[in-house]
Structure 1
């Protein structure tokens, strides 16, 4: 994260650099809505709803502070998932996910977010749609109970976010939460993704990236980054802005479905993860945890303003189409 010494800001730092820093900084929102205490006041719901709506309508991303999920839980799951990703390839492939059956392991290049010839995407992942589903219990026994606890906290935080979004849009508080009641089941494609970006070899093939530019498929995405960094977001001026890891925050962004739903009021923004340029960053693994939030499979998504800007589509049909476009058998 870039920082400036306020006392010497205008004497030591060129003003153009200051303006660029201020322009590129992604917005933040304190979401201290009493996740672990009493019901928030209407004023607090409105404050958070307005701040999130402003961020989602502009760059489509926002850092949340005071989100209620302890950093030690993030570190615990990253450590446990790291144990899995260090296993031999044959063992990991026993848990390979399918194109539509989403629970399981994805090897490098199994998910391709670009169709450009000669490109490679250097990452591994494990998707968890149901904490009671297939997991590598024999190899990493502690992973399932840790994910079970994490999923409960994620769903509570997501419920608060969905409520605040509805308030910000002037809808009934329960509008979005009522469309996401089956998270964690086979009737909703919401999932936890454990991501592992291995150290970059000294000589990588031309066209190699970690994640190609893309938008997410669902309603919103919650991202917990480690301190390695590399995520970039495309802003409205078509420039790539660094989404630096901020300690203690979760980075939330708009997915395709929410952009359809809000008739472009909220923006699903392209983002990517590049190969690091520095030798130190290239020599270490990068890990992150992602919570992809989707409506229940049978929810029909159509613009809230009644326009014909987008054709109605069920949440399941939209997600299956995107999986078919990006996953390799």
Structure 2
């Protein structure tokens, strides 16, 4: 059985901080995505049939949705709310000096540090109302790299991320290895990066401020345009303010419903963040996201050792793998994981489809934005 998460016991008194008060979930009837719920604790079942059922359900989620809800993964709702307390405290108390000192620089290929509310470059751009603080492994190793206000609580954030990495993500990768009909630790040992506390991934405290009318108009109701993540798995903690949308196999955007305490796991498909519904439009949306990174020197190739892949082939319905497969089939090298994610951070900015390198395209009646990254065309729904 997996050991549940426990907060570290601090010998040093800490400042009292305000509790995060979750906003009320929307009461509006929306077009919801019908995602499967995976209870991670069932992976420890002594009954092989229970585990086999879990594997089959996960396989269906991968094939049909590319997303799933993860529950019973070892963190209580109270413990999770404490992490939201800390994220809220960071955004409310980070000093202007720390904002400047720790300002992120995406040209380096990483998002480490503080992202202000004016776009996705280091210098001011279009206002989007989104603030981040991103913790990479170096941020956990040097307190000078994090806001001074959060230093007394870094033991809690560190313990939480350690648990997400070495318990939740490791068990999730075991489940995905079983889906691929590979040894239990195949993805953990061969794909997941292990450099530093969070490997080559990172942990994000994000805060979405309500937009004024002029900024809403500029962004046409979209806070983050359609994009895919580029690590192994992305763990998004379900939040009450409805904004996350996922792109379905039927070429439609659908909202992800709030599921208290659950993780929304992105297995590499397309998502966006839209404006909340009318009854939540004045709420701040506080978000925690854990991005897991794959080994940097590995090339972006399928795990051909998988009997499942050998037998059933690949899912080519969306994403960039179709383009990678063309390179593989022609004998040309595909990028490494490190090359690909750093190029994404440096060049794939959050901008409207019309402003992207290859512009907007209409494909079967659906609008897409197109970029070219490292010679690979990336086409994503708008």
With the shorter chain as reference, the TM-score category is 0.7 to 0.9
Q: How many residue pairs were aligned? A: 290
CA contact (8 A) 1:121 1:212 kept: no
**Deviation at residue 239 of structure 1 after TM alignment:** 1.2
**1:273 equivalent in structure 2:** 273
**1:30 equivalent in structure 2:** 39
**2:291 equivalent in structure 1:** 292
Pairing 1:231–2:244 present: yes
**Deviation at residue 144 of structure 1 after TM alignment:** 1.0
Instruction: Report the Cα distance in structure 1 between the residues aligned to 2:134 and 2:142, rounded to whole angstroms.
Output: 10
Instruction: Report the Cα distance in structure 1 between the residues aligned to 2:174 and 2:284, rounded to whole angstroms.
Output: 36
Q: 1:142 to 1:202 in 2, by over 3 A?
A: farther
**1:59 equivalent in structure 2:** 65
**Deviation at residue 140 of structure 1 after TM alignment:** 2.1
Q: 1:234 to 1:247 in 2, by over 3 A?
A: same
Instruction: Report the Cα distance in structure 2 between the residues aligned to 1:144 and 1:187, rounded to whole angstroms.
Output: 14
Instruction: Report the Cα distance in structure 1 between the residues aligned to 2:283 and 2:243, rounded to whole angstroms.
Output: 12
Instruction: Report the Cα distance in structure 2 between the residues aligned to 1:226 and 1:277, rounded to whole angstroms.
Output: 14
**Deviation at residue 202 of structure 1 after TM alignment:** 4.8
- Greater mean alpha carbon deviation, residues 84-93 or residues 236-245: 84-93
Instruction: Report the Cα distance in structure 2 between the residues aligned to 1:163 and 1:207, rounded to whole angstroms.
Output: 43
Aligned partner of residue 53 in structure 1, secondary structure: helix
Instruction: Report the Cα distance in structure 1 between the residues aligned to 2:201 and 2:266, rounded to whole angstroms.
Output: 15
CA contact (8 A) 1:46 1:168 kept: no
Pairing 1:48–2:54 present: yes
1:325 aligns with one of 347, 362, 373: 347
**Deviation at residue 45 of structure 1 after TM alignment:** 3.9
CA contact (8 A) 1:137 1:143 kept: no
Q: 1:286 to 1:195 in 2, by over 3 A?
A: same
Larger relative contact order, structure 1 or 2 (CA cutoff 8 Å, min sep 6): 1
**2:155 equivalent in structure 1:** 145
Q: TM-score, normalised by structure 2?
A: 0.68
**1:71 equivalent in structure 2:** 77
5+ unaligned residues in a row in structure 1: which ranges?
4-16, 113-117, 256-267
5+ unaligned residues in a row in structure 2: which ranges?
1-24, 305-309, 314-324, 329-333, 351-382
Instruction: Report the Cα distance in structure 2 between the residues aligned to 1:49 and 1:310, rounded to whole angstroms.
Output: 31
Aligned partner of residue 127 in structure 1, secondary structure: strand
Instruction: Report the Cα distance in structure 1 between the residues aligned to 2:197 and 2:80, rounded to whole angstroms.
Output: 24
**1:95 equivalent in structure 2:** 102
Instruction: Report the Cα distance in structure 1 between the residues aligned to 2:35 and 2:56, rounded to whole angstroms.
Output: 16
Q: TM-score, normalised by structure 1?
A: 0.78
Q: 1:54 to 1:109 in 2, by over 3 A?
A: farther
Instruction: Report the Cα distance in structure 2 between the residues aligned to 1:240 and 1:179, rounded to whole angstroms.
Output: 34
**2:188 equivalent in structure 1:** 177
Instruction: Report the Cα distance in structure 1 between the residues aligned to 2:105 and 2:248, rounded to whole angstroms.
Output: 33
1:107 aligns with one of 106, 111, 116: 116
* Residues 258-269 of structure 1 mapped to structure 2, 5 A cutoff: 268=269
Aligned partner of residue 148 in structure 2, secondary structure: coil
Instruction: Report the Cα distance in structure 2 between the residues aligned to 1:293 and 1:90, rounded to whole angstroms.
Output: 30
Cα RMSD between the aligned structures? 2.9
**1:258 equivalent in structure 2:** none
**Deviation at residue 43 of structure 1 after TM alignment:** 4.2
CA contact (8 A) 2:98 2:147 kept: no
Pairing 1:154–2:167 present: no
Deviations 1:128-187 (A, max 9, x none): 112224543522233311111111220111000101101111112221011355446289
- Greater mean alpha carbon deviation, residues 240-249 or residues 206-215: 206-215
Moved over 6 A (4+): none
Aligned partner of residue 120 in structure 2, secondary structure: coil
CA contact (8 A) 2:207 2:285 kept: yes
